[in-house]
Amino acid sequence: MLSVNELEDRLIDLAFAEDIGDGDHTTLCCIPEEAMGRSKLLIKEDGILAGVEVAKEVFRRFDPDMKVEVLMGDGSTVHTGDVAMVVSGRVRSLLQTERLMLNIMQRMSGIATMTHKYVEKLEGTHTRVLDTRKTTPGMRMLEKQAVKIGGGCNHRIGLFDMILLKDNHVDFAGGIENAIDRCHKYLKEKGLDLKIEIEVRNFDELSRVLSHGGVDRIMLDNFTVEDTKKAVDMIGGKYETESSGGITFDTIRQYAECGVDFVSVGALTHSVKGLDMSFKAC
């Protein structure tokens, strides 16, 4: 399995390959090889900054001689007109790294900003905001990093670091009890120590899980606020609880006040707007 750094390296390599191809002919035709310059990262919208460390790696990988002066780091609250960093070096390098750096930082900062809003919405409760696997292919590690920078929590990174028995797993396995039992058998055979979460769709399924046991967390899928409160009371703190499905910014506080431990929000990553910023010569 590839490490986080190896996945990021592959992403950067692929991004340069698809953007530059056999050469940035616009830059190469009009900028002398020896020309030196500076560019600033100008913030054009209020939010939470994310992706600074990844941006530094983009610059380093493309041209190790580029100098990066970081003025505002990951997690900083930024406002329109702020300058987050200044980069100096070959003008050709500044121009060829500009778009990839912006694509990453705008995306990550948008996710961090959105996550921060949800976290603020839950202030005063014990409920934590979780992300999901609804991420951009190839960018999952960066997007989940952005969620953490914004104050949220990562649910699971992928299919390898947690067991999540969803409705299709339960149905194909022949029921809740079969799914849980097969899960424990598999983990024992493979020598794995993974947390087990199971999704329930109604009170009948919840009762069956409570009777059978063998899980660490119960996901209440598409429960109303009223039913969530009833379900949390039924569970009585025996297992971690998570609300999921159809929860919006306007309703998330109501679910938190039911006493759930986590609320998962796919919107943190699957449809977020990038934070506006630009890379300008200075």
Annotated catalytic sites, by residue? 99, 134, 166, 199, 221
Both tokens of residue 127? 């409920």
What whole-number distance in Å separates Cα of residue 275 and Cα of residue 211?
A: 47
Q: How many Å separate Cα 145 from the centre of its chain?
A: 6
Comparing CA positions, the residue from 249, 1, 274 lying closest to residue 136 is 274
Q: List, edge to edge, every strand of the sheet that includes 36-43.
A: 67-70, 83-90, 36-43, 277-281
Comparing CA positions, the residue from 145, 282, 167 lying closest to residue 220 is 167
DSSP β-bridge partners for residue 48? 77
What whole-number distance in Å separates Cα of residue 140 and Cα of residue 159?
A: 12
Q: What is the dihedral of CA 155, 161, 165, 168, to 10 degrees?
A: 100
What whole-number distance in Å separates Cα of residue 109 and Cα of residue 67?
A: 22
Burial of 5 by CB count in 10 Å (0-12 exposed, 13-18 middle, 19+ buried)? exposed
Report in angstroms the alpha-carbon separations of 111 from 141, 236, 249: 12, 33, 14
